[in-house]
Amino acid sequence: MAGINTPQNRENPFKQNWFVTATWLLVICYVLYSFNAMGLSWERFNDGLGHASNLLGRMVPPNFSRWSLLMSGLIESLEIAIISSICGIFISLFLGLFAARNMMPSWVSTPVRTLIALCRTFHPVIIAILFVKSVGFGALAGILTLVVASIGFIAKLFAEAIEEISLKQVEAIRATGAGFTSIILFSVMPQVFSRFIGFSTYQLDSNLRNSTMVGIVGAGGLGGTLFSAFQRFDYDFVAAILIVIIALIMFGEFLSNIVRRIFR
C-alpha cells in the first residue's frame, strides 16, 4: 500500500556541529574563569543592589534648581559639537579626497590613509586627555579632540565613497579638457554628495554625544558638570544632567533626520 512512509536513514538537517559546541564550552569556561578573576561574590552583588536602590532613591526627584549652570554647560557642549563638526567635516573633505586611491597616486594616499587610521585608533577620551595636557582645560581641547575624531570617521568613509564612484563621468569631464578642480567639482562631488551628507549628519550627531563626555577629563562642556556632580554625590543633579543629555541627543537625532530628508 502506498502510504506515507518515513525513510529512517535520512540525514538530520540539524546535525550536531562539534566545533561549534566546543566553542560554546570554551566561552562558558572563559566566563567562569573571568568571574572568578574579578572576585565578584554574591555578597558584593547584593551590597551593590542595595547601593543601587539607594542611588536611584537619591536621584529620583531630579534637581533642576541649578539650571543656569546646566544651561551654560549645555550651550558649551552644543558649541563644541557645532564647531568641531564643521571644521572636522571641512578637513575631511580634503583628506578623504587625498586618501582615495583612484584619485591620487599612492605616495599621496598611503600617508594620508595612515594619518586617518591613527585618528581612529584612539578613543576620543584619550585624545582629549592629550589635548587637555597640551592646550589646557576648556572648550578648545574638546573642539580639537572632536575634530580628530571626525577626521578618523568621515575621511575614511568619504575616501571609500570616492573609490566606489563610476569613472565614466570623470573621463567625460576630463575629455572636455577640464582642470583638476573642475573634475573634482563636476564629476566626483555630484556622485558622492548625498552619501557625504549622510556621513556628516551622523558625525554631527555623534559629536553631540561625545561633546557631553569629553568634559569628564576637563575638555569643556556638560561632562565636566556631570563629573563634578558625581564627585560631590549630588545624585539628584546628576539625574537632571542625564535627562538633559538624553533630551539633547533626541533633539540632535530629530534635526539630523530633517537635514537628511532635505538632502535626499
For the bound state, the minimum distance from the C-beta of residue 10 to other proteins, rounded and expressed in Å, comes to 15
Contact 127, 148 (CB under 8 A): yes
For the bound state, the minimum distance from the C-beta of residue 54 to other proteins, rounded and expressed in Å, comes to 9
Contact 129, 217 (CB under 8 A): yes
| Residue number with CB closer to other proteins (96 or 223) | 223
Main-chain phi, psi angles of 225, to 5 degrees = -60, -45
For the bound state, the minimum distance from the C-beta of residue 244 to other proteins, rounded and expressed in Å, comes to 11
For the bound state, the minimum distance from the C-beta of residue 122 to other proteins, rounded and expressed in Å, comes to 7
102 contacts: CB under 8 Å, gap ≥ 6: 162, 163, 165, 167
| Residue number with CB closer to other proteins (109 or 206) | 206
**Helices and strands (H and E) in the chain: how many:** 12, 0
Contact 212, 221 (CB under 8 A): yes
For the bound state, the minimum distance from the C-beta of residue 139 to other proteins, rounded and expressed in Å, comes to 5
For the bound state, the minimum distance from the C-beta of residue 227 to other proteins, rounded and expressed in Å, comes to 7
Contact 215, 223 (CB under 8 A): yes
* CA dist., res. 146 & res. 127, Å (int): 9
For the bound state, the minimum distance from the C-beta of residue 52 to other proteins, rounded and expressed in Å, comes to 5
* CA dist., res. 113 & res. 178, Å (int): 27
| Residue number with CB closer to other proteins (132 or 170) | 132
| Residue number with CB closer to other proteins (104 or 227) | 227
For the bound state, the minimum distance from the C-beta of residue 210 to other proteins, rounded and expressed in Å, comes to 8
| Residue number with CB closer to other proteins (31 or 185) | 31
Residues contributing to the site for other proteins (CB under 8 A): 14, 27, 30-31, 34-35, 37-40, 44, 48, 51-52, 55, 75-76, 78-80, 82-83, 86, 121-123, 125-126, 129-130, 133-136, 138-140, 143-144, 209-210, 212-213, 216-217, 223, 226-227, 230, 233, 235, 242, 245-246, 249-250, 259, 262-263
DSSP 177: T
| Residue number with CB closer to other proteins (27 or 172) | 27
Residue type, 162: I
Q: Is the dihedral of CA 212, 218, 220, 224 positive or negative?
A: positive
| Residue number with CB closer to other proteins (104 or 122) | 122
SS3 98: helix
| Residue number with CB closer to other proteins (103 or 142) | 142
Contact 232, 238 (CB under 8 A): no
Compute the CA torsion angle 108, 110, 113, 117 (nearest 10 deg): -150
